[in-house]
Amino acid sequence: MPDKDRRPILEVKNLFYGYAPPSGFSIFISYFSLYVGETVLLLGPSGGGKSTLLNLISGVTRPDSGSIEICQQSMRDLSASQCDRFRGEHIGLIYQSLNLIPWLSARENILLGSAFSARRRARLLASSPVAHANGLLDSLNMPYEKFANMNTENLSLGQQQRVAAARALIGSPELILADEPTSALDDENCNEFLQLLFSRLDRSRQSVLMVSHDRRIAERFDRVINLETLFGGEA
Amino acid sequence: MNVVGLSFRSLRSRAPIVFLVVLNLSLSIALYIGVVSVERMSRASFENSISGVDLILAPRGNDMQILLYTVFNIGEPGGLISGDSLDKVAQDPDVDWLVPIALGDSFKGFRVIGTTPRFFDAIEVRRDQPLQFAMGQQFNGFFDVVIGSRVASDLGLNIGDAVTIQHGMGGINTASHDRLPFQLSGVMEPTGTAFDQVVLIRIQALEGLHVGWRNGQELMGLSSDDIISQMGLRSNYASNAAFVGVKSPLKLFSVQRRISELRGDALSAVIPGVGLAKLWQLIGSVEAGFQFIAMLVIAAAVISMVAMTMASLDSRRRELAILRSVGASPMHLVLLLLVESIFIAVNACLMGIAISQVGTWVGSIYLEKQFGLVVGSGLLHTEDLWVLVYVIGAAIGASGIPALKLYRRTVNDGITVKL
C-alpha cells in the first residue's frame, strides 16, 4: 500500500533536541511517520535516546526545533496541561518494568488508563469501566475473579506486563507507546505478552510504536527501524 | 477513580504511618481544645462565684483585693464598715438588698463567714441558680452553722455535729471559742465556687463571740445565753464587707456613686464584673502562655505531617511518573498531595475533638473534686472551630513545600520512571 493513501497517526519532522552540557547528548530525526494500524519496532541499545524520544512524542519534553504531530494535532500548539490531557486521551504507555502502582489492585491499575480521559471512558461501549477492565483481564489469561482485586506485588512479572498492556489498551487510544516492555520477560511470557497486545489492537485506528533492543520480537512487527538510522535521517 | 479516590488509596497503603501522623496532630489539637476549655471553665467558675451580686461594699481599697477576700477567700479584709454605714447603704432607695460579711475566724482551716440568712436567697452561684442545700437547712437557731460541700466532704460532718470556731485563721496555739454551742444545721450543694469551702454562721453570733476579747485573748467571755440576750438578732452590726443587690441595673452606677460619696466611713463599691475583668487580665497572661504553647505543639505536628509527605515523595517517584503517563498533569499530582493533607487534617480534627471531649469528661471528675471547677455541658464552642479551620489551613499551606518539590520533580522526570 503506497504511503500517500495512508493516514499517519504520528508524524515527526526535523526534530532536534539537545541536552545541556556536560552530557551534550542530542537527537535529530529529519522525518518519521507511523500510520494507522501499523506496528513499528525501533531497535536500539539502552542509553541511545529512547527515553528522550518517548518524552518528546508524549509531549512531556519540548523539542528544540522541528515538529511532532499526533492525530493531526501539532504538539507544539498545545500548552503543557493540554499536552497532559492529550496524552491521556490518545496515548497508552507501557514501560519496561515496574509499570504498576503498588497501592492499587490489578483492576484499578487498568482503570487508571482511562481515569484522566473522558474520551477513553466514553469509548468503553461495554457496560461499565469495571466490566471492561474485567473483560481485559480475562483476555490476558488472568481470570478477573481471581486477579481483579489482587495486590499487584503478588503478580508475576509477565502478569504485571500484561496488566500494563491492558492499561495502555483500555479506551482504545490511537497510539500505544512501549519502552522495552519485553526485555525483562522470558521467551514464553514475551510471546504471550505480544500476542495479547496485538490481538486486542484495533488495526483500523490504533498503532504501536515500540522501542527495544530485543531482537527476538522483530518478526512480529510491520516495520523494524534501527534507532541509529532513525536519528541519522529518515524512516 | 478520580484524584480523591487515588488519594484515599494511596493513604490506605501507608495506613500505619498516616495513622501516627493523624494521632500526633489530633493529640495536639486535643491539647489546644483542652487548654481553651479549662480556661473557659475557670473563667466561668470565676464569674459564677458571684452572679446575682451587683456591688461589693468594702472599706476603701483596691478593687481586686476586695474581690479576692470577699469572693475567693484569699487575703485579709481591709477593715470594718460601721453598722451605721451599712444601714445608710441598705436604706438607699435603689438598693434591693444587702448581705453583710464578717471575716476573721476559721474552722479547721476553712474560713468562717458571719452573715445573715438573706445570704442564701441573694447569692447565686450560676445565673439564676440560688444556693441549694444538700442536707439540712439554713440558720434556725442562733448558733447554727452552714458549711460548703467541700468542708462537709473533707471533714465528714453530719447535721447536729458540734462545731468549734477558732479565732483567726487557725494555727497551733490559736484560741478557740470552744465554750459556745455552735452546731451544724445545713450543708450546701457543690457550687464549683469558693463558697464550697466556707463555714457560715450568723453575723450576730460571730460578733457576740468576740465580745470581751482583746488582742486574740479571751479576757471576759460571755456565756451563750449572755450573747443571745446581748446581741439578740439586732440589726446593727459592723462587718468587713457586704454584698449588695440593686433594684434595677440602670441604677447601678448611681448607687455606686452615692456609696463613694457617703460621709463617715470611706467605702468602695466594686462592680464584680469589672473587678473580675481586672483579675482575669492578670491571670489571662498565663492562660495566653499555655495557649501559645499548645499552638506550638500544633505547629510541630503540622511540620511532622509535612516531613512525612516529603519523605514519601522519594519512594513515590515511580507512581508519579506512571500517573503522568496516563494523562495526569503536575497540577493533578499537586492536588493529590493536597487531598491527602486535607484528609489527614480533617481526620485529625475530628479525632482531636473526640479525644478532647473524652479527656475533659474524664478530667472533669478530677477537676471538680480537686478544684471545684464545674465543667459545663457545651464544652466545644464555635470559636474553637476556628482552630480547626486554622489547622486545616495550615496543613494545606504547609503542603505547599512538598507540593512545590513534587511539581518540580514531575516536570523534570516527565513520564520517565526513575527509581
Distance (Å, whole) CA A92 – CA A70: 13
Contact of B319 with chain A, judged by CB distance below 8 Å, is answered with yes
Q: Which residue of B has its CA nearest to A79?
A: B329
B208-226: per-residue pLDDT in tens? 777 655 555 555 556 666 6
Interface contacts A/B by beta carbons within 8 Å: 76
Strand partners, B162: B183
Answer whether B325 sits within 8 Å of A58, measured CB to CB. Answer: yes
Rounded to a whole number of angstroms, the distance from the CA of B318 to the nearest CA of chain A is 8
Strand partners, B106: B111, B166
Answer whether B326 sits within 8 Å of A61, measured CB to CB. Answer: no
Query: Which of B9, B14, B327 lies closest to A84 in CB terms?
Result: B327
A192-229: per-residue pLDDT in tens? 888 888 888 888 889 999 998 888 888 889 999 888 88
Structure confidence at residue B262 as a pLDDT band (50, 70, 90):
confident
- Looking at residue B33, its pLDDT comes to 85
- Looking at residue B410, its pLDDT comes to 78
A32-51: per-residue pLDDT in tens? 899 988 999 988 887 778 87
| pLDDT of A233 above 60 | no
Q: Which residue of A has its CA nearest to B317?
A: A101
- Report chain B residues whose CB lies below 8 A from the CB of A85: 327, 329
- Report chain A residues whose CB lies below 8 A from the CB of B417: 95, 98
B177-196: per-residue pLDDT in tens? 666 778 898 999 888 778 88
Structure confidence at residue B244 as a pLDDT band (50, 70, 90):
very high
Rounded to a whole number of angstroms, the distance from the CA of B387 to the nearest CA of chain A is 33
The sign of the dihedral angle between the CA atoms of B26, B27, B28, B30 is positive
| pLDDT of A11 above 80 | yes
- Mean residue pLDDT across chain B: 82
B267: phi then psi, degrees, rounded to nearest 5 = -120, 150
First to last CA, chain A: 16
Distance (Å, whole) CA B165 – CA B112: 8
Start-end of H helices in B261-399: 272-315, 317-325, 330-371, 382-398
| DSSP tag of B219 | S
**Over pLDDT 90: what percentage of chain A?**
6
Distance (Å, whole) CA B175 – CA B219: 11
Distance (Å, whole) CA B130 – CA B126: 8
C-alpha cell at B237: 452590726
Residue A184 burial by Cβ neighbours in a 10 Å radius (0-12, 13-18, 19+):
middle
- Looking at residue A1, its pLDDT comes to 45
Q: In terms of pLDDT, which residue wins out, B243 or B51?
A: B243
Distance (Å, whole) CA A9 – CA A201: 15
| pLDDT of B176 above 60 | yes
Q: In terms of pLDDT, which residue wins out, A98 or B138?
A: B138
Amino acid letter, B253 = F
B317-360: per-residue pLDDT in tens? 888 888 888 888 888 888 888 899 899 999 999 999 889 888 87
Answer whether B328 sits within 8 Å of A61, measured CB to CB. Answer: no
- Looking at residue B178, its pLDDT comes to 65
Answer whether A116 sits within 8 Å of B326, measured CB to CB. Answer: yes
Amino acid letter, B151 = V
Rounded to a whole number of angstroms, the distance from the CA of B6 to the nearest CA of chain A is 9
- Report chain B residues whose CB lies below 8 A from the CB of A117: 326-327
| pLDDT of A164 above 50 | yes
Query: Which of A80, A98, A116 lies closest to B417 in CB terms?
Result: A98
- Looking at residue B370, its pLDDT comes to 64
A168-180: per-residue pLDDT in tens? 988 889 999 988 8
Of A64, A88, A89, the residue nearest A76 (C-alpha): A64
Query: Which of B13, B327, B417 lies closest to A95 in CB terms?
Result: B417
Answer whether A103 sits within 8 Å of B13, measured CB to CB. Answer: yes
The residue count of chain A comes to 235
Amino acid letter, A64 = D
Of B300, B319, B380, B273, the residue nearest B50 (C-alpha): B273
| pLDDT of A59 above 50 | yes
